[in-house]
Amino acid sequence: MAPEGQTDPWDPLVAAVVRGLVESARNLGLELPEADVRSALNLDGGPEGDLAFPAHRLSAMARRAPPEVAQQLASGFPPSPGVRSVAATGAYVNVRVDPAVLARATLELALGRGGAYGHRPRAGGPVCVEHTSANPTGPFHVGRVRNAILGDTLARCARAAGADVTTQYYIDDMGRQAAMISWIWAKPRDEWPESVRAADEGRGSETDKPDRHFGRIYPAVSAYLKDHPDAAAEVARVVQQVESGTPPSNHRQITQQILDGMLASLGRLGVGFDEFVWESDFLRDGSVGRVLDRLRSSPHAVTEENGALAIDAAAHGLPKESTHIVVQRGDGTSLYVTRDVAYHLQKFARFERVVDVLGQDHQLHARTLDALLAEIGEPRRPEFVIYQDITVPEGGRMSTRKGSAVWLDDLLAEAVARARTEVLARREDLAESDVDRIAEAVATGAIRFHIARVAPEKPVVFRWEDALSFEGRSGPFVQYSYARAASLLRRGAADRPPYPFDPERLADPEEIALVKVVAKFPRIVAYAARSAHIQSLAGYAHELADQFNRFYHAVPVLKSDVERPSRLALVAAVRQTLGNALDLLGLVRLETM
RNA sequence: GGGCGCGUGGCUCAGCUUGGAUAGAGCACCGGGUUCCUAACCCGGCGAUCGAGGGUUCAAAUCCCUCCGCGCCCGCCA
């Protein structure tokens, strides 16, 4: 069995190679810290080996040509456990490990740790990941969903990496939009303006949800308020009531209803939240007031002619022309950024690390928030994960107002319809409920993967055909590979775990290659969590599925003879690893499809 | 104008954190593969002066500078 506490099958091999290189270098008269060797060692290997060590830096120290140094490092390399060969190729020392040793460690870890393979033990203090936090004023469009998928995947990765994660959704119930909602909802429908009632046509249809419902009438309400000052004044009064801590009695319930509709859509994508934080609470509990008190005593505080409070924060590295931060209006009401300071102080009180997932249009807000935290003497800062917009082919961001938004619900509906067609074309034996279940999983998997695979800082142009791809580098391809592995294990049920595998039997090149991909999973998870590059996880899932399919075509499993138990063990390890990767990406595992 | 981000085959992306050996995928296109464990698959082919220029380095898609192009932000909105 693998040593207690080991999580990465490569660890003992890498440690042995590092020790060997250090020892070999010592014979050349060079003392190297193990950490330096370790960081220079290429764990992905190269064309000539499983692990590669470039000798250039050493050659400078030794004042000899790189190939010569590489040669000497290789020839002086001591016999080490698990190391099959060490040879110089040009300026590189190439190490080949014993594939059976790696296979044994990998299968033991993947099968032994099961769902915990790739995960690390709990370590560190509590972490808050705030994401999505879209204003509850209408349905999600695809642009907003990038935040949810990024944040949710990040939270899953952080948990796997050992963090104690709490996810939060910050609910804005204080804006004018929220006030518009409770204003119109408080009225009996027959008192609604004609134009709003007209926009309300179609209500009660099958796809109707509170968020869709309000999303439909919002433009009409907004237009109506422009031409009707009386009504606008009523809405302004609602804003005031919320500000003063006495919102209309139904205010929060209405906001909650719309939010529930939105969350139902996200739920289909596997996105959920541990906690919901209401913005108005920070006003009610006096914490915004306390923030303002602290800001007022800042040497950079200035009071405007109309009584507004501002901070001249030139010292905090803000862009020119953005250093004048108004933190309280002339009429004494609060501002978003000030409330956000209060929110972050609450987060810092509870969490060791605070992560905020924000669209790039909030970049300046993030820096302003930092500046204000500095102003009040708070030493800690949130870690911002910033992503770029999803735009439409015609150009520009998705906009409800311009009608260019693609609703998540519509994308889901189309994806499910296409997935159903695909399932039906392949499977005639399935019950209707299974067809639905698989189609839903394929559809949501395609969408999640499509967004997770692209680096957050890349701008994305939304195209239906791309988002609905079920082939190649896609979620369904990974899900399909998982189902294939599951199917093999089902059909091979005569052999049951624990499979009595013999790592020496896994000698085919495709088997060795597959073991290597399984073996690097823990490293990928750790990197994804550390760097917030969730695309590396999506890329890995595809790579593992891809190599599994190659293996599948290259060697028989169930029909093999002496290799059968070992191959089944490998398939079981792949299924486990692929499943763990799907979990982290928030894709549904399908045992059959 | 200032700030932030992006620019890699026809298209969409990975690789940039920590510089290392012929730049990896997917889609599209061309040619193959199913009496055999799920063809949402596999094999082969085609296709890239990594936006341009300069710099650092033994070595640059990766680090630095300049420029060009594209996107977003620059409210007593959120």
User: To the nearest whole percent, how much of chain A has pLDDT over 90?
Assistant: 81
Nearest nt to the A320 alpha carbon by C1': B2
- Closest residue to B59 (CA to C1') is A56
CA of A460 to C1' of B49 (A): 27
What's residue A1's pLDDT? Answer: 53
Residue A206 has pLDDT above 80, yes or no: no
Which among A160, A161, A106 has a CA at the least distance from the CA of A572? A106
Nearest nt to the A93 alpha carbon by C1': B21
CA-angle at A190, arms to A189 and A191, nearest 5° = 90
What's residue A404's pLDDT? Answer: 84
Mean pLDDT, to the nearest integer, of A295-312? 94
CATH (one of 3.30.1360.70, 3.40.50.2000, 3.30.70.100, 3.40.50.300) for A11-97? 3.30.1360.70
Residue A300 has pLDDT above 60, yes or no: yes
What's residue A207's pLDDT? Answer: 62
A483-532, pLDDT tens digit by residue? Answer: 999 999 999 987 778 889 999 999 999 999 999 999 999 999 999 999 99
What's residue A321's pLDDT? Answer: 83
Question: Does A11-97 match A408-585 in CATH topology?
Answer: no
Nearest nt to the A445 alpha carbon by C1': B40
Residue A14 has pLDDT above 90, yes or no: yes
Q: For chain A, which residues make up each domain, given as ranges?
A: 11-97, 408-585
Residue A411 has pLDDT above 70, yes or no: yes
DSSP label of A53: E
Report how far apart, in Å, the C-alpha atoms of A450 and of each of A96, A304, A397, A539 are: 36, 49, 18, 11
CA of A108 to C1' of B24 (A): 30
CA distance A588 to A525: 18
CA of A539 to C1' of B47 (A): 23
- Closest residue to B39 (CA to C1') is A426
What's residue A512's pLDDT? Answer: 96
CA-angle at A354, arms to A351 and A359, nearest 5° = 155
CA-angle at A406, arms to A404 and A409, nearest 5° = 150
List chain B nucleotides near protein: any atom < 7 Å from a Cβ.
1-7, 12-18, 20-22, 25-28, 33, 36-43, 58-59, 71-78
A63-76, pLDDT tens digit by residue? Answer: 889 999 999 999 99
CA of A454 to C1' of B59 (A): 30
CA of A8 to C1' of B15 (A): 23
- pTM as predicted: 0.95
What's residue A315's pLDDT? Answer: 77
A16-46, pLDDT tens digit by residue? Answer: 999 999 999 998 888 889 999 999 999 998 8
Nearest nt to the A360 alpha carbon by C1': B72
Mean pLDDT check: name the lowest of A21-35, A116-130, A205-219, A348-362: A205-219
- Closest residue to B11 (CA to C1') is A466
Asked if omega into A498 is within 30° of 0 (cis), the reply is: yes
CA of A556 to C1' of B67 (A): 58
More confident residue, A396 or A94: A94
Residue A2: pLDDT band by 50, 70, 90 thresholds?
low
Nearest nt to the A340 alpha carbon by C1': B78
Mean pLDDT, to the nearest integer, of A360-369? 94
Report how far apart, in Å, the C-alpha atoms of A197 and of each of A176, A193, A208, A225 are: 21, 6, 16, 14
CA distance A73 to A59: 11
CA of A224 to C1' of B54 (A): 58
A119-164, pLDDT tens digit by residue? Answer: 999 999 999 999 999 999 889 999 999 999 999 999 999 999 999 9
CATH (one of 3.40.50.300, 3.60.15.10, 1.10.730.10, 3.20.20.120) for A408-585? 1.10.730.10
What's residue A517's pLDDT? Answer: 97
Residue A116 has pLDDT above 60, yes or no: yes
- Concatenated DSSP letters for A129-187? EE-----SSS--BHHHHHHHHHHHHHHHHHHHTT-EEEEEEEE--SSHHHHHHHHHHHS
- Could you tell me if A325 and A311 are in contact, meaning their C-beta atoms sit under 8 angstroms apart? yes
More confident residue, A4 or A589: A589
